[in-house]
Amino acid sequence: MCTHTPTCPTADSPDHEAAIVASCHPEQGWSLLCNGVLVFEDTGDLLPDGRIVAPRRPLAVAA
């Protein structure tokens, strides 16, 4: 999918979120990267093959 030079990381790469945003929808809370990965504002990802990357939110600290 990516036509950038140098090529963006593939969806299977550990750094797949470093790909360039192809379509951004902040009002809906997601962006589509050029490698086909959907990135959600809660830090979760949906890979093109349907696999889910769970959100990586920091843990809340009790006061």
Which pLDDT tens digit goes with each residue over 1-35?
A: 677 888 899 999 999 999 999 999 999 999 999 99
Where do we find the tokens 């990965």? 37
- Residue 2's pLDDT is what? 73
Q: What is the pLDDT of residues 35-53, one digit of tens each?
A: 999 999 988 999 999 999 9
Place of tokens 């036509």: 3
Model pTM? 0.81
pLDDT at 59 > cutoff 80: no
CB contact at 8 A, 52 and 44? yes
